[in-house]
């Protein structure tokens, strides 16, 4: 009786897409090895019973060589072999290497169903696989699927119960490769194809000159497009909504409240020049929704659209190759580019994906760099929103400070921490054109995740701040920190509230700076400080979970130290 179904396969063969198809549970899938760093579990309706389906991280062999592979192999040993079914997902365009794991699974006595995924892509490349013949040779069910469109999934479901262990001699590594060669001869036929444009682009992107030119173009275009889409959403959708529809509603509501009273203060906030100012009023119903939906959300949508596109096309591993040698002095190798890029969206998934890095040392360096030097989209949106009107130089200035910090921190940590960084070894996926439906689902999933996470914190946070301000509790805290902030950083003591709130969410904190009438120098210092200081509460917990308490304390001390140094330097040296 099957109790659990495991999805097993090499990295980047589409296990997560199959998983989503089988269970209806949406998980993030991309076109690069190591997207799945957490084990996803879901349920499949099967012979009138619910069976658990588990999506394992990719593994090249059953003799694990990395942390993620170890997890995969140990989970497979959880239950006796009679009680599980293994769906072995293969990339049809690379049968030879993928089949090595299949043979190992069969040899070890696992009940296997082979799923030849990406069969449409194989067809495009002139690769034809005789699934029936392969099934005969292996004595296990073999099904061709294309998970992205859903074809073959029904058949796969029906074949899962036919998975049985079969007797097969255990082979040595060398003998297995010879055996593979024989199998491939019999089941695969290749059509000769001329080099396609796609292959030319694949080649050009990993060569020094053309690769760097392409990388520069991709990065530049991404920045431009994110800003363009973000601004278009703001001026075309969210601002008209807030001004034409939402404002009249609020004005009606505010008539029923007594200005200066507790509820007015809490919900509407302060009137600026007799009117509601969405950026400065600081009410639960005014500034809180405006920051998240009117200022941050448009950029979240734009950023994840572009990131998802780059992920699914398969460009990111190529960027990792190009940047590898530049990352070595920081104690990292090229693949750290992926967690760092994800960190630009939100630090939490960025830090989670440092799991693709092998050593604890690399992970600590990467996680610290991300939480100090990588501004998330909400923070960036606020920096642009607040500093942008003073000119691009100030916005650029914040990025320059953060970028320098990444370099300095990496160099210092690499010197101070013991151990070497492991070598780079990465399979580069082919370019794929993602179907729009898949992109749309992924974008929806990420944007929904952002709203669910951010909105409650922002609403409760602003409510909390307003209650504290109303009862003047902040006066005590500001009194205590005032000497530091006023003398070292040159900021008014009201800015302390924003710095403290930065622990909750950075976007709200930057929002709190808006009504303070700061000079451009103070605004620049305060936003930079917010960017480099303590991570927000969500990042803090993920750091704790991923690195453990000791490393978290280390990393936190570094952050506080860095914030004090940067604030002081900006005030006394750089911005004088």
Partner 1 sequence: MESEKNLKRVPLTRLPENKKAKVVEIAGGANMRDKLMSMGMNEGRELVKLSYIGLRGPVVVKIGRSVVAIGYGVAAKITVETI
Task: Name the 3-class secondary structure at 144.
Answer: strand
Query: Measured from the CB atom, is 154 or 207 closer to partner 1?
Result: 207
User: x/- binding map, residues 203-232, to partner 1, per CB under 8 A?
Assistant: x--xxx--x---------------------
Q: Are 331 and 412 in contact (CB under 8 A)?
A: no
Residue of 425, 460, 467, 520 that binds partner 1 (CB under 8 A): 425
Residue 411 found at the interface with partner 1 (CB under 8 A): no
291 neighbors 511 (Cβ within 8 angstroms): yes
Q: What are phi and psi of 532, to 5 degrees?
A: -90, -25
Q: State which of positions 73-92 bind partner 1 (CB under 8 A).
A: none
Contacts of 505 (CB under 8 A, 6+ apart): 378, 454, 457, 458, 461, 536, 537
Q: Binding residue for partner 1 (CB under 8 A) from 4, 81, 97, 133? A: 97
Q: What's the min distance (Å) between Cβ of 124 and partner 1?
A: 13
Pairing of strands 49-55, 4-9: parallel
Interactions with partner 1, residue window 500-559 (CB under 8 A)? none
Segment interacting with partner 1, rule: CB under 8 A, options 75-83, 321-329, 454-462, 554-562: 321-329
HSE on the CB side for 40, CA within 13 Å?
24
Q: Return d(Cα 333, Cα 325) in angstroms, integer.
A: 7
Q: Choose one: 47-55, 93-101, 348-356, 537-545; the region binding partner 1 (CB under 8 A).
A: 93-101
Q: Which is nearer to partner 1, 99 or 570 (CB)?
A: 99
| Euclidean distance between CA atoms 6 and 74, whole angstroms | 12
Is there a contact between 91 and 12 (Cβ–Cβ < 8 Å)? yes
User: Is 365 among the residues that bind partner 1 (CB under 8 A)?
Assistant: no
Measured from the CB atom, the residue of 60 and 299 that comes closer to partner 1 is 60
The answer to whether 361 touches 417, Cβ cutoff 8 Å, is yes
Tell me which stretch binds partner 1 (CB under 8 A): 39-47, 169-177, 302-310, 339-347. 169-177
Q: Are 338 and 370 in contact (CB under 8 A)?
A: no
- By CB under 8 A, is residue 14 in contact with partner 1? no
| Half-sphere exposure of residue 316: CA atoms within 13 angstroms, side-chain side | 21
- Applying CB under 8 A, does 182 fall inside the site for partner 1? no
Q: Can you tell me the distance from the alpha carbon of 308 to that of 87, in angstroms, rounded to the nearest whole number?
A: 27
3-state secondary structure 7-36: EEECCCCCHHHHHHHHHCCCCCCCCCCCCC
CB of 96: closest distance to partner 1 in angstroms? 5
Q: Using the structure block, give the residue that is written with the tokens 């301000």.
A: 469
Measured from the CB atom, the residue of 66 and 539 that comes closer to partner 1 is: 66
* 198 Cβ contact list (under 8 Å, min separation 6): 430, 431
> Rounded to the nearest 10 degrees, what angle do helices 316-327 and 337-345 cross at?
110
Instruction: Report the nearest approach of partner 1 to the CB of residue 130 (Å).
Output: 17
- 20, 66, 144, 281: which one binds partner 1 (CB under 8 A): 66
Using CA atoms, how far residue 37 sits from 63, 356, 422, 545, in Å, is 19, 7, 19, 14
Q: Binding residue for partner 1 (CB under 8 A) from 427, 453, 494, 546?
A: 427
Say whether residue 186 binds partner 1 (CB under 8 A). no
Residue 414 beta carbon to partner 1: minimum distance, rounded to whole angstroms: 15
Q: Give the tokens for residue 492.
A: 């008014």
CB 69 → partner 1: shortest distance, Å?
Answer: 9
Contact 270, 284 (CB under 8 A): no
198 binds partner 1 per the rule CB under 8 A: no
Q: Determine the size of the site formed for partner 1 (CB under 8 A).
A: 37
Q: Which is nearer to partner 1, 281 or 421 (CB)?
A: 421
Compute φ and ψ for 160, nearest 5 degrees.
-60, -40
Least distance to partner 1, CB of residue 200, Å: 12
94 binds partner 1 (CB under 8 A): yes
> Pattern of binders to partner 1 over 271-310, x per CB under 8 A?
----------------------------------------
Place of tokens 């492991």: 422
- Please report how close the Cβ of residue 334 comes to partner 1 at its closest, in angstroms: 7
Out of 48, 169, 174, 185, the only residue in the binding site for partner 1 (CB under 8 A) is 174
Among residue numbers 234 through 263, which ones bind partner 1 (CB under 8 A)?
none
Per CB under 8 A, the list member of 325, 404, 437, 517 interacting with partner 1 is: 325
Within 377-406, the residues that bind partner 1 by CB under 8 A are none
- Residue 332 touching partner 1 (CB under 8 A): no
- Tell me the per-residue interface mask from 35 to 64 with partner 1, x by CB under 8 A, - otherwise: -------------------------xx-x-
Question: Of 142-150, 324-332, 440-448, 503-511, which part binds partner 1 (CB under 8 A)?
Answer: 324-332
Contacts of 204 (CB under 8 A, 6+ apart): 210, 211, 214
| 320 near partner 1, rule: CB under 8 A | yes
Nearest to 383 by CA among 394, 372, 374: 394
DSSP 63: S
| Spatial contact of 58 and 36, defined as CB atoms under 8 Å apart | yes
Cβ distance to partner 1 smaller for residue 9 or 289: 9
Contact status: 107 vs partner 1 (CB under 8 A):
no
Q: Does 317 bind partner 1 (CB under 8 A)?
A: yes
Q: Are 392 and 313 in contact (CB under 8 A)?
A: no
Tell me which residue has tokens 């957490």: 38
Please report, as ranges, the residues that interact with partner 1 according to CB under 8 A.
Answer: 60-61, 63, 65-66, 93-97, 100, 173-174, 177, 202-203, 206-208, 211, 317, 320-322, 324-326, 328, 333-334, 423-428, 430
């Amino acid at each position: 009786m099957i109790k659990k179904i495991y999805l097993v396969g090499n990295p980047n063969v589409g296990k997560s897409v199959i998983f989503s198809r089988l269970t209806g549970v949406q998980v993030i899938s991309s076109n690069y090895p190591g997207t799945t760093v957490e084990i996803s579990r879901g349920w499949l309706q099967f012979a009138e019973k619910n069976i658990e389906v588990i999506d394992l991280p990719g593994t090249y062999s059953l003799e694990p060589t990395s942390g993620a592979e170890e997890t995969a192999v140990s989970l497979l040993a959880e239950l006796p072999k009679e009680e599980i079914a293994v769906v072995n997902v293969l990339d049809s365009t690379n049968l030879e290497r993928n089949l090595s794991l299949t043979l190992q699974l069969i040899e070890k006595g696992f009940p296997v169903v082979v799923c030849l995924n990406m069969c449409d892509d194989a067809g495009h490349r002139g690769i034809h696989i005789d699934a029936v013949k392969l099934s005969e040779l292996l004595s296990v069910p073999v099904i061709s699927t294309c998970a992205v469109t859903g074809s073959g999934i029904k058949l796969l479901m029906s074949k899962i119960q036919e998975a049985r262990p079969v007797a097969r001699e255990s082979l040595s590594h060398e003998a297995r490769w010879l055996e593979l060669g024989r199998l491939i001869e019999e089941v695969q036929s290749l059509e000769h194809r001329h080099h396609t444009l796609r292959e030319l682009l694949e080649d050009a992107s990993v060569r020094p000159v053309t690769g760097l030119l392409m990388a520069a173009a991709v990065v530049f275009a991404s920045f431009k497009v994110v800003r363009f889409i973000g601004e278009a959403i703001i001026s075309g959708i969210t601002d008209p909504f807030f001004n034409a529809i939402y404002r009249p509603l609020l004005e009606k509501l505010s008539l029923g409240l007594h200005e200066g009273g507790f509820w007015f203060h809490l919900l509407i906030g302060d009137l600026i020049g007799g009117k509601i100012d969405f950026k400065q009023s600081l009410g639960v119903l005014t500034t809180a929704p405006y920051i998240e939906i009117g200022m941050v959300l448009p950029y979240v949508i734009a950023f994840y659209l572009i990131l998802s596109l780059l992920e699914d096309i398969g460009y990111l591993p190529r960027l990792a190759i190009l940047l590898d040698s530049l990352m070595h002095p920081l104690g990292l190798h090229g693949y750290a580019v992926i967690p760092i890029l994800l960190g630009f969206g939100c630090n939490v998934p960025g830090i989670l994906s440092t799991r693709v890095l092998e050593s604890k040392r690399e992970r600590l360096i990467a996680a610290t760099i991300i939480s100090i030097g990588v501004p998330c989209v909400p923070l960036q949106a606020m920096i642009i929103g607040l500093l942008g009107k003073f000119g691009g130089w100030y916005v650029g200035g914040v990025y320059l400070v953060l970028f320098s910090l990444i370099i300095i921190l990496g160099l210092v940590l690499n010197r101070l921490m013991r151990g070497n960084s492991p070598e780079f070894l990465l399979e580069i996926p082919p370019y794929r054109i993602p179907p729009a439906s898949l992109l749309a689902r992924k974008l929806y999933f990420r944007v929904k995740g952002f709203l669910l996470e951010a909105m409650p914190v922002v609403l409760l946070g602003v409510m909390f701040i307003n209650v504290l301000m109303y009862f003047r509790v902040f006066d005590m805290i500001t009194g205590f920190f005032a000497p530091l902030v006023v003398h070292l950083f040159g900021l008014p003591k009201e800015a302390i509230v924003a710095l403290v709130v930065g622990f909750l969410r950075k976007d709200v904190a930057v929002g709190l700076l808006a009504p303070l009438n700061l000079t451009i120098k103070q605004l620049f210092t305060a936003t930079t400080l917010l960017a480099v200081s303590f991570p927000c509460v969500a990042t803090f917990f993920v750091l704790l979970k991923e690195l453990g308490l000791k490393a978290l304390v280390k990393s936190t001390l570094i952050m506080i130290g860095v914030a004090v140094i940067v604030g002081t330097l900006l005030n006394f040296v750089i911005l004088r």
